[in-house]
């Protein structure tokens, strides 16, 4: 009797969640999916805003959703409370032996990874604090920031598959 009651309670809790989950199919493409995918680049973006570190004093170099990080720029560079940024890093480039921030790797190719989305929660003249709202992967010290601009998704074909 007790087993049946517990199983009934579990099923009752799962049914509303199952109804909500049916709104999105397994193949539903969202703008954040596109943003989180690696993007091939032929030229590197100009880097002006970077992640300086975690707000915590424990020496961590990687942050996840909910963590607060320090941006190495403030209001004098145009950073203001409420702004949202993508945190990104270059994969496949090389920093060794150069004075430039990045050097493109094999045949001038590199990929840009979006590590997350952050929102500025406090700013002064020199630094800003931002909360990691969404994490595609770990946000690391040195990641650069770009203003959020969600991509437009293609419209599905009528009566067919993409």
pLDDT tens for each residue of 101-137? 445 554 455 678 889 999 999 999 999 999 999 999 8
Average pLDDT over residues 84-104: 64
In the numeric block, which tokens belong to residue 14?
Answer: 């799962």
| pLDDT on residue 116 | 93
Q: Taking Cα atoms as reference points, which of 76, 87, 82, 32 lies closest to residue 54?
A: 87
Q: What is the pLDDT of residues 15-64, one digit of tens each?
A: 444 444 446 566 677 787 888 887 776 666 677 899 999 988 888 889 99
User: What per-residue confidence (pLDDT) applies to 74?
Assistant: 94
pLDDT at 161: 57
What's the pLDDT at 37? 80
- Non-local (6+) Cβ contacts of 82 within 8 A are 119, 120
Q: How far apart, in whole angstroms, are the C-alpha atoms of residue 82 and residue 80?
A: 6
CA–CA–CA angle 143, 93, 95 (5° rounding): 75
Q: If you average pLDDT over residues 6-20, what whole number do you get?
A: 46
Structure-model confidence comparison of residues 154 and 139, the more confident one: 139
pTM: 0.68
Per-residue pLDDT, 3:
47
pLDDT recorded at residue 92: 64
In the predicted model, what is the mean pLDDT of residues 154-161?
Answer: 65
Which of 94, 83, 84 has its CA nearest to residue 35?
Answer: 84
């Amino acid at each position: 009797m007790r087993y049946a009651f517990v199983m009934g309670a579990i099923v009752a809790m799962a049914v509303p969640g199952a109804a909500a989950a049916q709104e999105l199919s397994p193949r539903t493409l969202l703008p954040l999916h596109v943003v989180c995918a690696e993007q091939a680049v032929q030229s590197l973006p100009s880097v002006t805003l970077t992640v300086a570190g975690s707000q915590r004093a424990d020496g961590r170099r990687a942050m996840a959703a909910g963590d607060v990080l320090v941006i190495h720029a403030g209001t004098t560079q145009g950073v203001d409370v409420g702004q949202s940024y993508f945190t990104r890093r270059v994969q496949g480039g090389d920093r060794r032996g150069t004075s430039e921030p990045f050097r493109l790797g094999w045949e001038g190719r590199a990929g840009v990874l979006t590590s997350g989305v952050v929102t500025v929660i406090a700013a002064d003249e020199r630094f800003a604090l931002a909360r990691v709202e969404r994490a595609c992967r770990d946000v690391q010290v040195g990641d650069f920031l770009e203003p959020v601009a969600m991509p437009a998704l293609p419209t599905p074909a009528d009566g067919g598959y993409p």
